[in-house]
Amino acid sequence: MNALLQTIRIGIALASLCALHAAQAGQSMLLPEGTVTLIRATSAFNVDTPIALQPGDLLATDAHGSAQIEDSDGTIVALGADTRIAIDAAPHGDALALLSGWIKIARPHTGTSDPLSIGTPTLDASLRDGAAVLHATRDMTALFIEAGSMTLALPEHADAHQPLDGEHYAERETGKPLVVGTRPATSFIAAMPLPFRDPLATSATPAKAKPVAPAQGRPATYADIADWLVAPLPIRRGFVARFRPLAQNEPFRAQVRQNLRNLPEWRRVLCPPPAMPRRRAGSPVQNQSTEVES
């Protein structure tokens, strides 16, 4: 009997371990070099150890920091300094929203994986396999495809796709057409982070991910998410519902009010329409005539 119970316990433990491994297998891991600011739900965290990422996470490196995101399918995304990126959701495959800064992506050829979508303020791209470097600001996006191929599209013409093979450069400013060439611009090369000149490699230290964000969090401030709130990116559409609880308190509410011109979708949060009067139970509904009495 004791042997049977011991066997059952071992079986349960192995099943739990396999379930935990399966649950973590599909997660992306953040490996910071320095401290990365993480906005998860409505809280902000300073992350300096490996952590499992979740859809909706907003990440920001500082002026001297960097980070690497590694996925179980072999995808690596390196973040340069002063970079802000979101783990977005896509109907098929994974998605990132690059608000500003530098990233380098490397994806192995598997033949079965869906493409990785990358949204920026002025250009959308998808990479099935290969390597590419991207730089984004609010007004311009530039990218160089080292290997593989990408599909590009303008946010305002999402149905018009333009494939682009490796060793091609593309850039696009707001309101201007896409410019494509075979050599990256001199300014692009000069500003690119030096580590991006080398192929990406997985972290030498095995990631020991935590299942949730660190406990030392705080409510996100307006300054933490101000640029995201006005970002010309599809992910912005979910921010009112997500960050609405923050608007119940000052100074967040006052800061949103000061910027309502750029945040029209928040007007109903600060100035909700008057509630409709409640009809008393049992009272008849009067027919309203549209005729004009003579």
Q: Does the predicted model carry a pTM greater than 0.85?
A: no
pLDDT, greater one: 98 or 1 = 98
Parse the chain into domains and list their residue ranges. Answer: 26-197, 221-270
**CATH number of the domain located at residue range(s) 26-197 in this protein:** 2.60.120.1440
Query: One-letter amino acid identity for 158?
Result: A
pLDDT, greater one: 96 or 273 = 96
Number of H-type helices and E-type strands within the chain = 6, 16
- Degrees to nearest 5, angle at CA 215 with 210 and 218: 130
In this prediction, what percent of the chain has a pLDDT beyond 70? Answer: 80
Q: What value does the mean pLDDT take over residues 242-271?
A: 96
Q: What tens digit of pLDDT does each residue of 18-77 get?
A: 333 333 445 799 999 999 999 999 999 999 999 999 999 999 999 999 999 999 889 999
Q: What value does the mean pLDDT take over residues 108-132?
A: 91
CA distance 70 to 30: 7
Q: What is the pLDDT of residue 154?
A: 95
The model's confidence at residue 160, banded by pLDDT at 50, 70 and 90, is confident
Alpha helices in 163-235 (DSSP H): 186-191, 222-229
CA distance 58 to 86: 4
CA distance 190 to 169: 15
Look at residue 15 and tell me whether its pLDDT is greater than 70: no
Q: What is the pLDDT of residue 111?
A: 72
Q: What is the pLDDT of residue 110?
A: 79
